C-alpha cells in the first residue's frame, strides 16, 4: 500500500497531465449520462420539462416512452432501416478495404502505389456535405450520369430523391465505399507491411503463385486486424452513419433512409413535434443495443478462438 502511494506521489505530475482529459470527459461525456438536473440517461423514464429545476421534480413515467416508441410505425420503420443499413454496411462495405489493400499490395512499384494511395484516401477528408455536393452534380436531373443514360436512350432518373429502397441503399453504400475504402485500406496495408517477408520467400520456394501467397500468407497475416476492426464495426453498427444520411435524406426518400439517429434528431429539434423525453428514449434504446452488440461481437470473437478486443 505504502509502496503504491509512494509510486503515485512520484508520478504526481503525470496525473496532472491527465487532469484536463478528466474535466473534458466529465463535462462532455459523463455529465450528459449522470445528471441531477435533467436526469441524464434516466431522462428517458420521465416526462421532461424545462421548468423543473432538478431531476426529482420530474414526473417518473417508467417505460412509458418505450411503449410509445414500439407502437409507432415511424419508429419501427426507422429501427428496421437502421438494422438493414447496418447489416448492409457490414456485408457490403466492410470487406472492400480489405480487398483493396490486398490488390494494392500486389502493385510492386512504389511510385504508382503511392499515387493510388494518395488519390484513394483523399475523399475521406472531405465532409459529407462536400461529398453530397459533388455527387449531386453527377446525379442530378441534368447531371453527367443522366447525360450518359440519355446517350443510351434511357430516361433520366431523379437519383437523389427517389423512393426506391434499392436505389437509395445503393447510393448510400456506394458513396460510403467511394469515400472511405481507400482510407480503410491504409490500416490493412500497414498490417501487411508487418508480415515477415521471409514467409513470402519460403512460399515461393515451395512453388506458390501469387494467389497462393495471398491466400496463405497475406490473409493469415492481416486476419487479427480484420477481427479487431470487425468487432469495432459491429459495435458501432447501430450508429448507421448520421453524418452521411443526414445529407441524403429528404421528403421523398425519408421512408427508406430514416434511421434512429435522424429520427431522434427530428424529435429533439422540433420538426417531429418537440418531445425531449421521447427522443431521449429512442436515443437510449439505440445506445443500449449498440453496447450489447459490441459486447456480443467481442464474446463471439473470443469463442472463435481469437483475442477479441477486451
Task: Tell me the closest approach of the beta carbon of residue 309 to another protein, in angstroms.
Answer: 8
Task: Tell me the closest approach of the beta carbon of residue 80 to another protein, in angstroms.
Answer: 20
Q: Of the two residues 144 and 154, which places its CB atom closer to another protein in the complex? A: 144
Q: Of the two residues 85 and 185, which places its CB atom closer to another protein in the complex? A: 185
Which residues make Cβ contacts (< 8 Å) with residue 203, sequence separation at least 6?
Answer: 212, 213, 216, 217
Task: Tell me the closest approach of the beta carbon of residue 89 to another protein, in angstroms.
Answer: 17
Task: Tell me the closest approach of the beta carbon of residue 41 to another protein, in angstroms.
Answer: 5
- Cα separation, 163 vs 79, in Å, equals 18
Beta bridge partners of 59: 47
237 grid coordinates: 453498427
Q: Do the beta carbons of residue 75 and residue 282 sit within 8 Å?
A: yes
- Cα separation, 41 vs 10, in Å, equals 38
Q: Of the two residues 91 and 190, which places its CB atom closer to another protein in the complex? A: 190
Task: For residue 139, give the 3-state DSSP assignment.
Answer: helix
Task: Tell me the closest approach of the beta carbon of residue 304 to another protein, in angstroms.
Answer: 19
Q: Of the two residues 86 and 247, which places its CB atom closer to another protein in the complex? A: 247
Q: Of the two residues 85 and 238, which places its CB atom closer to another protein in the complex? A: 238
- Cα separation, 253 vs 250, in Å, equals 6
Which residues make Cβ contacts (< 8 Å) with residue 65, sequence separation at least 6?
Answer: 44, 45, 277, 278, 280, 281
Measured CA to CA in angstroms, residue 156 lies from 147, 152, 172 at distances of 8, 11, 20
Task: Tell me the closest approach of the beta carbon of residue 243 to another protein, in angstroms.
Answer: 8
Task: Tell me the closest approach of the beta carbon of residue 191 to another protein, in angstroms.
Answer: 6
Q: Of the two residues 10 and 303, which places its CB atom closer to another protein in the complex? A: 10
Among 109, 118, 101, CA closest to 184? 101
Among 37, 44, 27, CA closest to 279? 44
- Give the number of other Cβ atoms within 10 Å of residue 1's Cβ: 5
Q: Do the beta carbons of residue 281 and residue 266 sit within 8 Å?
A: no
Q: Of the two residues 140 and 165, which places its CB atom closer to another protein in the complex? A: 140
Amino acid at each position: 500500500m505504502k509502496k503504491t502511494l509512494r509510486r503515485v506521489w512520484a508520478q504526481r505530475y503525470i496525473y496532472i497531465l491527465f487532469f484536463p482529459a478528466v474535466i473534458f470527459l466529465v463535462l462532455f461525456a459523463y455529465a450528459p449520462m449522470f445528471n441531477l438536473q435533467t436526469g441524464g440517461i434516466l431522462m428517458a423514464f420521465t416526462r421532461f420539462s424545462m421548468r423543473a429545476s432538478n431531476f426529482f421534480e420530474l414526473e417518473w413515467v417508467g417505460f412509458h416512452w418505450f411503449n410509445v416508441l414500439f407502437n409507432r410505425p415511424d419508429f419501427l420503420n426507422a429501427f428496421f432501416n437502421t438494422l438493414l443499413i447496418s447489416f448492409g454496411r457490414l456485408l457490403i462495405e466492410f470487406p472492400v478495404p480489405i480487398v483493396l489493400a490486398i490488390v494494392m499490395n500486389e502493385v510492386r512499384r512504389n511510385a504508382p502505389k503511392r499515387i493510388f494511395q494518395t488519390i484513394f484516401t483523399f475523399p475521406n477528408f472531405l465532409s459529407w456535405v462536400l461529398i453530397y455536393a459533388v455527387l449531386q452534380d453527377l446525379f442530378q436531373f441534368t447531371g453527367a450520369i443522366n447525360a450518359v443514360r440519355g446517350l443510351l436512350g434511357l430516361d433520366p432518373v431523379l437519383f437523389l430523391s427517389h423512393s426506391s429502397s434499392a436505389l437509395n441503399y445503393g447510393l448510400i453504400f456506394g458513396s460510403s465505399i467511394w469515400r472511405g475504402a481507400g482510407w480503410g485500406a491504409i490500416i490493412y496495408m500497414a498490417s501487411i507491411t508487418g508480415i515477415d517477408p521471409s514467409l513470402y520467400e519460403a512460399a515461393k520456394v515451395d512453388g506458390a503463385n501469387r494467389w497462393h501467397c495471398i491466400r496463405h500468407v497475406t490473409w493469415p497475416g492481416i486476419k487479427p486486424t480484420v477481427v479487431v476492426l470487425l468487432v469495432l464495426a459491429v459495435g458501432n453498427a447501430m450508429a448507421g452513419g448520421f453524418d452521411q444520411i443526414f445529407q441524403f435524406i429528404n421528403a421523398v426518400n425519408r421512408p427508406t433512409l430514416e434511421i434512429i439517429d435522424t429520427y431522434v434528431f427530428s424529435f429533439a429539434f422540433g420538426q417531429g413535434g418537440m418531445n425531449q423525453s421521447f427522443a431521449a428514449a429512442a436515443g437510449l434504446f439505440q445506445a443500449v443495443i449498440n453496447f450489447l452488440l459490441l459486447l456480443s461481437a467481442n464474446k463471439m470473437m473470443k469463442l472463435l478462438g481469437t483475442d477479441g478486443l477486451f
